[in-house]
Chain A
Amino acid sequence: MQDNHNKEGASIGNKTMEIATALIILAFGAIVMWDSNRIGSGWGSDGPESGSFPFYVGLLIVVSAIVTLVNALRSSAEEAGEFVGGEEFKLVLAVLIPSIIYVALIHFIGIYVSSVAFIAIFMVWQGKFSVVKSFAVAIPVNIFLFMMFEIWFKIPLPKGPVEAMFGF
């Protein structure tokens, strides 16, 4: 990754990210330990109980997260460098946020219509293709997927009102 310190836009430091990640992992390990302890993490009469394997796994997660956390706290922000620059972060979000919207849409309007919209909009917005060209890619791709899943393999994927109009 190039050094983008001088570029404008808020960047996220590696140190911050390391600490945040270690804390999340720490919390994750603690939750695992807590729930495993609840269902029994001892050594029963015939081997370990349901919770004992995840309990020790959780313990190891907590320990390694603490070590990572301490290492991160002791490192200097300068040396750790930058996790992601502002510009790059925008690009990452440019794909991540549409993806989240896309998955959310699937629930309401089905996967095929959402996919047509997602592919076409992404192509127009990020690839600067013409609207016609974008739909010329998005629609055939989805017709192919529809044929394959719904018609040939008979695997029902999430469908919405548009498919219902055609009797699916």
Chain B
Amino acid sequence: MEELSLLFNGFAIAITPYNIAMMFVGTILGVLIGTLPGLGGANGVAILLPLTFSMEPTSAIIMLSCIYWGALFGGAITSILFNIPGEPWSVATTFDGFPLAQKGSPGEALTAAFTSSFIGAFFAVLVITFLAPMVAKFALKFGPAEFFAVQLLTFCSFVGMSKEPPFKTIAAMMIGFALASVGMDSVTGQLRLTFGSEEMMRGFDFLIAVIGLFGLGEILMTMEEGLAFKGTEAKINARVVFQTWAKLPQYWATSLRSSLIGCWMGITPGGATPASFMAYGIAKKFAKNPEGFGKGELEGIIAPETAAHAAGTSALLPMLTLGIPGSPTAAVLLGGLLIWGLQPGPLLFVEKADFVWGLIASMYLGNLAGLIVVLTTVPYFAAILKIPFSIIAPVILVICAIGSYTVANAEFDMILMLIFGVIGYVFKKLSYPLAPMVLALVLGKMAEGSFRQALLSSQGDLSIFWSNGLVGGISGLAILLLISPLLAKLWSLAKGGNKAAA
């Protein structure tokens, strides 16, 4: 157990009063950044990076990585309270988090989200501590074809779950894909679907669509329901944390599965957002009562939050061992390492062992600090729902506007957000499902890019998608998940048929 002694050495480095203070500063800032839609962890870290320039590298990276953990925790807050995802990976959290909060249990929803985040992170840090070298090799096996297979798997695990009319589902999903392809085609460098507009060159950012569709769309729906100017009757006391904790152990299988999905997606690197969708989709497929999903099921909060935080945390592993960032925030941290004169890559663990193990130790402590910070805020955040709607609605709208502006520093995006808000309202009323549209918007560009990269390397030969065990296995699993509801239906039909016959 060489790792253990190295880790204890790391704790010795990380636990200084100054570093611990930095951890709390970092997580508090991170929660703030994570809460505000548009202002993501990557932005937050990038903005503070130059200011940490005069700090000692270990303390600086501890603070910056804690901003990142804080952002991972904070993303869930506005998702649950207002249906506005603070971060892309907390979109899936809105599906059940918001309904649960509306039913009068915002405290329960927040506690479940935060605790799951912590569990996912803890699992990922364990993986980083003990499996780093092995896992780094696994990541090297992923080329474009494998990435496409993973994106296919994410997609297949999620579709087939809406109750809406099939053609409306297809339309919504395809609109998502179409919007994803606006802007620069990453493979040929050509502009497409921009119609000569400078604003369209940027493409449609997923977060702006989501802020409009979910955030503004929800406000319009609430307005229509007769100016619900009463606050939600939320029971709030500190005990809600412990009451929720008592319920969590029964979902251990979901937590474990989501942690594994998250680690895998963080390391390979697929990203936290696809991880959260995949975990949600698979949790629903395995759940005892999948009908409850989307109406405030606790499991529907646990799965995406665990996976997102596990992915976000494990994304640091390929950054440290290979020098490839597993997430946008990891990309910025990578830049930070270079600025401090540290060279991420296979030799970092050997040459700068003190730094690496100090950082890993700080991941345990930073996430613990983050959990403490966010759990103490649960009653306050839950209390926000008691504020009358006529105060909270304009404030949410202001936050939506700022959020959509900060994504790309563009005023045009605020107009887009309004348009998406109207689309969200109309689609919701006409039962066009929004979730597949959002997923297509996230995955569309990535999947198309990997697909075409793979074909470029095989010179147009499609067999690359089943050319080896890894890509074939993942694709096979994807297809299986896609047709599993069909198989289940056939199975129950066959069984039911037998019973009827008997």
A99 CA to B414 CA in the complex, in Å? 10
Q: Which residue of B lies closest to A142 (CB)?
A: B398
Given contacts A46-B459, A68-B167, contact A84 B185 (CB under 8 A): no
B448 touches A149 (CB 8 A): no
B192 touches A21 (CB 8 A): no
B394 touches A14 (CB 8 A): no
* Interface flag for B161 (CB, 8 Å): no
A71 CA to B219 CA in the complex, in Å? 30
Query: Which one, B44, B187, B192, B425, contacts A36 given CB within 8 A?
Result: B192
Instruction: Give the dominant DSSP class at A's interface.
Output: helix
Query: Which one, A39, A83, A127, A129, contacts B190 given CB within 8 A?
Result: A39
* Interface flag for B443 (CB, 8 Å): no
Which residue, A25, A36, A54, A68, has most C-beta atoms of chain B within 10 A? A54
Query: Which one, A35, A46, A61, contacts B192 given CB within 8 A?
Result: A35
Given contacts A46-B456, A53-B448, contact A122 B393 (CB under 8 A): yes
Given contacts A51-B192, A155-B43, A158-B405, contact A64 B390 (CB under 8 A): no
CB distance from B68 to the nearest CB of A (A): 15
* Interface flag for A131 (CB, 8 Å): no
CB distance from B169 to the nearest CB of A (A): 8
Q: Which residue of B lies closest to A25 (CB)?
A: B171
* A-contacting residues, B38-89, CB 8 Å: 39, 43-44, 47-48
Which residue, B219, B389, B430, has most C-beta atoms of chain A within 10 A? B430
CB distance from A72 to the nearest CB of B (A): 9
CB distance from A52 to the nearest CB of B (A): 9
* Interface flag for B401 (CB, 8 Å): yes
Q: Which residue of A lies closest to B445 (CB)?
A: A53
CB distance from B104 to the nearest CB of A (A): 21
CB distance from B205 to the nearest CB of A (A): 16
- Mask of B168-196 contacts with A, CB within 8 angstroms, 1/0: 10110011011001000101101011010
* B-contacting residues, A126-168, CB 8 Å: 126-129, 137, 141-142, 145, 148-149, 153-158
* Interface flag for B139 (CB, 8 Å): no
B397 touches A155 (CB 8 A): no
* B-contacting residues, A89-146, CB 8 Å: 89, 91-92, 94-96, 99-100, 102-103, 106-107, 111, 115, 118-119, 122-123, 126-129, 137, 141-142, 145
A71 CA to B429 CA in the complex, in Å? 17
* The stretch of B110-118, B224-232, B475-483 that contacts the partner chain: B224-232
A48 touches B455 (CB 8 A): yes
A17 CA to B428 CA in the complex, in Å? 12
Q: Which residue of A lies closest to B168 (CB)?
A: A68
Query: Which one, B193, B390, B402, B414, contacts A35 given CB within 8 A?
Result: B193
Q: Which residue of A lies closest to B166 (CB)?
A: A64
A94 touches B223 (CB 8 A): yes
CB distance from B432 to the nearest CB of A (A): 8
- Mask of B428-459 contacts with A, CB within 8 angstroms, 1/0: 01101000000000000000100110011001
Query: Which one, A32, A58, A111, contacts B402 given CB within 8 A?
Result: A111
B190 touches A61 (CB 8 A): no
CB distance from B29 to the nearest CB of A (A): 8
* Interface flag for A77 (CB, 8 Å): no
A84 touches B224 (CB 8 A): yes
B418 touches A18 (CB 8 A): no
A15 CA to B194 CA in the complex, in Å? 32
A153 touches B44 (CB 8 A): yes
Which residue, B192, B398, B414, has most C-beta atoms of chain A within 10 A? B398
A119 touches B430 (CB 8 A): no
Given contacts A35-B193, A50-B188, A54-B192, contact A92 B391 (CB under 8 A): no
* Interface flag for B460 (CB, 8 Å): yes
* A-contacting residues, B1-57, CB 8 Å: 32-33, 39, 43-44, 47-48
CB distance from B234 to the nearest CB of A (A): 19
Given contacts A103-B415, A106-B414, A148-B32, contact A68 B391 (CB under 8 A): no
A126 CA to B223 CA in the complex, in Å? 11
Q: Which residue of B lies closest to A69 (CB)?
A: B167
A25 partner residues in chain B, CB cutoff 8 A: 171, 175
* Interface flag for B315 (CB, 8 Å): no
B391 touches A137 (CB 8 A): yes
A103 CA to B413 CA in the complex, in Å? 10
* Interface flag for B201 (CB, 8 Å): no
A128 CA to B452 CA in the complex, in Å? 57
CB distance from A9 to the nearest CB of B (A): 13
Q: Which residue of B lies closest to A43 (CB)?
A: B460
A96 CA to B212 CA in the complex, in Å? 12
B397 touches A118 (CB 8 A): yes
B43 touches A141 (CB 8 A): no
A107 partner residues in chain B, CB cutoff 8 A: 411
A120 CA to B204 CA in the complex, in Å? 31
A65 touches B171 (CB 8 A): yes
16 of the cross-chain contacts (CB-CB < 8 Å) are A21-B426, A28-B175, A35-B192, A46-B456, A46-B459, A54-B177, A65-B171, A91-B224, A95-B397, A103-B401, A103-B414, A106-B411, A111-B405, A122-B394, A142-B398, A157-B405
Taking Cβ atoms with an 8 Å cutoff, the residues of B that contact A are 32-33, 39, 43-44, 47-48, 165, 167-168, 170-171, 174-175, 177-178, 181, 185, 187-188, 190, 192-193, 195, 216, 219-220, 223-227, 229, 388-391, 393-395, 397-398, 401-402, 405-406, 409, 411, 414-415, 418, 421-422, 425-427, 429-430, 432, 448, 451-452, 455-456, 459-460
Known pairs A1-B224, A100-B418 / 13 extra A-B pairs, C-beta < 8 Å: A46-B459, A46-B460, A51-B192, A58-B178, A61-B178, A64-B171, A83-B429, A84-B224, A99-B421, A103-B418, A119-B394, A155-B406, A157-B406
